[in-house]
Amino acid sequence: MTTRRDVLKMGLLTGAGALCSPLSAWAADINMRMFYWGAPDRVKRTDAVDALFNKTHPGIVVASSASADHWAKLNTSMAGGNMPDIVQLEPNTLPDYARRRALISLDDYIAKGVIRTADLDKGVLDLCKVDGKMAGMALGLNSFAMIYDKAAYAKAGIPEPKYGLTWDEFARQAVEITKASGKNRYWGAPYLARANYILVAWLAQRGKNFFTEDQQLGFNVDDVREFYTYWDKLLKAGGCTPGDLSAKNMLNPDSSEMNSRNCSCALLFSSQLTAFHSLLPDVKLGIAPLPVTQPNGPSGLFYRPALSLAISKDAKNPEAAAKYIDYFVNDMDAGKVLEVERGIPPNVKVRAEVYKQLNEYEKMSVDFINTIQPIVMKYPPASPAGAIEIDVGVMRPIGEQLAYGKLNVADAAKKMVDDSTRVLRRASGKA
Write the DSSP string, 352-393: HHHHHT--HHHHHHHHHHHHTGGG--PPPPPPPTTHHIIIII
The rounded distance, in Å, linking the Cα atoms of 81 and 67 is 19
pLDDT in tens, 385-418: 999 899 999 999 999 999 999 999 999 999 999 9
Q: What pLDDT band is residue 24 in, cutting at 50, 70 and 90?
A: very low
The SS3 of residue 21 is coil
CB atoms inside a 10 Å sphere around CB 78:
18
pLDDT digits (tens, 9 = 90+) for 158-189: 999 999 999 999 999 999 999 999 999 999 99
Quick check: 4 pLDDT over 70? no
Domain 144-301+386-427 homologous superfamily, CATH? Periplasmic binding protein-like II (3.40.190.10)
Asked if residue 116 lies in contact with residue 331, where contact means CB atoms within 8 angstroms, the answer is no
Under the banding of pLDDT at 50, 70 and 90, the label for residue 13 is: very low
> C-alpha distances in angstroms, 363 versus 274, 319, 360, 408?
9, 34, 5, 43
Does 144-301+386-427 match 4-141+304-370 at the fold level?
Answer: yes
The pLDDT, as a whole number, for residue 431 is 65
Domain boundaries, the chain: 4-141+304-370, 144-301+386-427
Specify whether domain 4-141+304-370 bears CATH 3.40.50.970: no
DSSP codes, 139-159? --EE-EEEEEEHHHHHHTT-P
